[in-house]
């Protein structure tokens, strides 16, 4: 596949790229970008290279699970290290990808960064981030894609409308605000290791986020991208949010009410596991159907968890919650219908081994609700894709742990 990226259109409230795809069967043209609703966009040449390449090389763009080889031709100069970074990222995703453009190796942005930004999607994860940061005395800006819908209850939110729903178009507008720290609301279900990478890994795993942050810093943009809740199973996220920040939780918009989807079942199960009613997300008849369909499908399909198992840890947490709720008689299915191997106690713990750098202040809050997972004694009880996140301990010359 050949991809052509045209010179972007830039205005104080718009940022638009036209992209042309050329295949054997013909060509098609579309646009990516966003429109600001209540803030001035801070344009820079860095984003002209970064934004379209992030879009093209991850899921949501025209490649990933659709094509495994492509080249992108830019009709404007591309920053050299940015091109090389996303060529490597594409390889992490199993794509043979090259950038064909004049490369500029001299440009430096040297932008002043300040404060913090929460990438706000309106669901449980970003709402917990906002609640914890405010409690700790941090007053972050809130950058919200589709903000008129997702952040209508959050005063002062900086809202924008992407022209499509890719994660690149939800994340880059927040990065362009030039915060010192930007918070991404990822949970434990997005950091498990697979080769090639699944679709969440580059925006959730701290290893990948540190690499992205280092790229920004190499151009003088001193922003750290962090995902502190990547150590939390989603039931713990939901519990802390509802227990500690009920006003923020009230506006939770993880999924449209009564949506016939596994995501709605997931959120409804989290609510039930936390001792709350799932009815604000899902009516009873739909819940029964979604639950029955999930049990049937997961029982028949075994270890099939979506594209590159991107949904594996989410599905395993759902399985464990279903087992535990059915055993308590709190589901409209009998426990005999739920396989015993679905039970798992790792869903009750904080998994700090996936991000050892989480701040002590946040960890104090999290530990009011759960203990740290006992890696030294129970690593074998974890799914292999989580076990792969455990770093080998460094030993000193005397053989002891350093």
Position 401 scores a pLDDT of 37
The two tokens of residue 73 are 């031709």
- 237 pLDDT band, cuts 50/70/90, is very high
Q: Where are the domains of the chain?
A: 2-104, 116-348
Q: Which CATH class is domain 116-348?
A: alpha beta
pLDDT of res. 398: 46
- Confidence category of residue 272, pLDDT binned at 50, 70, 90: very high
How far is 52 from 16, CA to CA, in rounded Å? Answer: 10
Task: Return the closest-CA partner of residue 88 out of 97, 79, 80.
Answer: 97
Verdict on whether the full-model pTM lies above 0.75? yes
DSSP symbol at 151: S
Residue 399: is its pLDDT beyond 50? no
Render pLDDT for 301-334 as a digit per residue (tens, 0 to 9). 766 798 999 999 999 999 999 999 999 999 999 9
Q: Residue 393's pLDDT band (boundaries 50, 70, 90)? A: low
Q: Does domain 2-104 have CATH number 3.30.420?
A: yes
Please give the pLDDT value at position 302: 67
From 23-37, 228-242, 384-398, the region with the lowest mean pLDDT: 384-398
Whole-angstrom Cα distance, residue 183 to residue 171?
Answer: 10
pLDDT for residue 397 is more than 50: no
Q: What distance in Å separates the CA atoms of residue 303 and residue 306, rounded to the nearest whole number?
A: 9
* pLDDT tens, position by position, 177-227: 999 999 999 999 999 999 999 999 999 999 999 999 999 999 999 999 999
pLDDT number for residue 168 = 97
Cα 67 from chain centre? 23
pLDDT value at residue 206? 95
Q: Closest Cα to residue 57, out of 174, 197, 193? A: 197
- Cα distance between residue 303 and residue 384, in whole Å: 12
Q: How far is CA 39 from CA 2, 153, 179, 320, in A?
A: 35, 18, 14, 43
Pick the closest to residue 142 from 84, 185, 196 (CA basis): 185
> In percent, how much of the chain has pLDDT > 90?
89
Say whether pLDDT at 400 is over 70: no
């Amino acid at each position: 596949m050949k991809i052509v990226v045209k010179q972007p259109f830039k205005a104080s409230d718009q940022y638009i790229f036209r992209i042309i795809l050329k295949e054997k069967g013909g060509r098609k043209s579309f646009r990516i970008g966003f429109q600001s609703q209540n803030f001035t966009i801070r344009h820079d040449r860095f984003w002209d290279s970064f934004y379209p390449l992030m879009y093209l090389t991850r899921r949501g763009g025209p490649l990933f699970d659709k094509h495994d080889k492509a080249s992108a031709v830019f009709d404007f100069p591309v920053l050299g290290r940015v091109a090389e970074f996303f060529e490597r990222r594409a390889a992490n995703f199993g794509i043979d990808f090259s950038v064909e453009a004049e490369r500029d190796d001299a440009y430096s942005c040297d932008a002043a960064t300040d404060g913090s930004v929460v990438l706000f999607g309106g669901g449980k994860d970003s709402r917990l981030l906002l609640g914890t940061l405010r409690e700790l005395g941090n007053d972050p800006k809130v950058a919200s894609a589709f903000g008129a819908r997702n952040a209508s209850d959050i005063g002062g939110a900086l809202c924008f409308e992407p022209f499509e729903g890719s994660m690149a178009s939800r994340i880059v507008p927040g990065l362009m605000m030039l915060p010192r720290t930007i918070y991404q609301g990822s949970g434990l279900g997005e950091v498990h290791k697979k080769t090639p990478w699944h679709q969440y890994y580059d925006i959730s795993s701290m290893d990948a986020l540190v690499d992205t942050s280092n790229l920004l810093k190499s151009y003088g943009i001193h922003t750290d991208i962090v995902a502190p809740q990547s150590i939390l199973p989603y039931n713990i996220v939901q519990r802390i949010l509802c227990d500690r920040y009920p006003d923020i939780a009230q506006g939770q918009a993880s999924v449209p009410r009564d949506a016939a989807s596994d995501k709605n079942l997931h959120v409804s199960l989290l609510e039930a596991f936390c001792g709350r009613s799932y009815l604000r997300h899902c009516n009873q008849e739909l819940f029964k159907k979604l639950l029955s369909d999930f049990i049937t499908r997961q029982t028949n399909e075994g270890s099939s968890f979506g594209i590159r198992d991107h949904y594996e840890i989410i599905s395993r947490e759902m399985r464990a919650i279903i087992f535990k709720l059915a055993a308590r008689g709190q589901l409209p299915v009998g426990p005999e219908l739920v396989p015993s191997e679905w039970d798992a106690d790792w869903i009750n713990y904080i998994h700090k081994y996936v991000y050892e750098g989480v701040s002590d202040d946040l960890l104090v809050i999290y530990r009011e609700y759960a203990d740290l997972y006992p890696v030294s004694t129970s690593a074998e009880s974890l799914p292999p894709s989580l076990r792969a996140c455990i770093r080998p301990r460094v030993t000193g010359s005397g053989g002891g742990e350093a």
